[in-house]
Amino acid sequence: MSLVLIPGYMADASLWDDMAEALAPAGPIHHASLAHDDTIPAMAQRLLAEAPARFVLVGFSMGGYVAREAARLAPERVRGLVLIATSSRSDSRKQAVAKRLAIEGVETGHFGGLSRAAAAASVHPDRAGDAALIERIRAMGQRLGREAFLRQSRLERVGDADRLGALGCPTLVIAAGRDRLRSIAESEELRDGIPGATMAVVADAGHMLPLEAPDALAALILAWIGDLPP
């Protein structure tokens, strides 16, 4: 079966590089881009226009919002959903303020990717000093560039908790035990709101699961895909 991998905020297809070999037995891999559109629905529509006829959607963080929207727009095409380190909540006031300040800083100055502090906050506390990991996260943002940063930062993440019950495809929710950006409770809300959804936790990892624990994450996805109905 085909997999469509959806990155998160200021991440590109290289987010999944460490998982590519492990996921290959599942079938062809396609990468969605979130760099060109201003809204979650527009991102989902672009994904559907570029995706194969039927597929499993794997959405990380902001990509989880896009994955759910695509599944609502074209349920007949989606064989399953994997939602990684994501949420059904709207942006909090704190998140909205932080994004506004970041936008103002870029509009009036230079954009060089996410700050080191922001990148460090997205990983397990013990890896906040891992220079190679932090620079890898920042490099994705640098490649995407200033305009993608402004588009994604201005985007309003509208909560969809009241629409989770309409999702009818098999769903796996994966949380990170040391995620400082998305709580276990947010993953539990997704699991409880989506009919028949199951949940797994990668205990010793932070938010950037595809980079911090690629082998464990790939193993969870492969095992779950193996149990999907034909």
Domains of the chain, CATH where assigned: 3-89+159-226 (3.40.50.1820), 93-154 (no CATH)
Q: Mean of the pLDDT values across residues 41-52? A: 98
CA separation for the pair 30, 47 (Å, rounded): 10
pLDDT of 107 reads 87
pLDDT band at 102 (very low <50, low <70, confident <90, very high): confident
Round the average pLDDT of the chain to a whole number and report it: 96
Quote the CA–CA distance of 98 and 93 in Å, as a whole number.
Answer: 9
Question: Between the CA of residue 45 and those of 26, 48, 66, 132, 222, what are the distances in Å?
Answer: 24, 5, 9, 34, 26
Predicted confidence band of residue 219 (pLDDT cuts 50, 70, 90) = very high
Confidence of residue 98 (pLDDT cuts 50, 70, 90): confident
pLDDT of residue 156: 86
CA dist 145 and 142 (Å) reads 5
Confidence band for 7, pLDDT divided at 50, 70 and 90? very high
pTM over 0.75: yes
Residue pLDDT, tens place only, 55-76 = 999 999 999 999 999 999 999 9
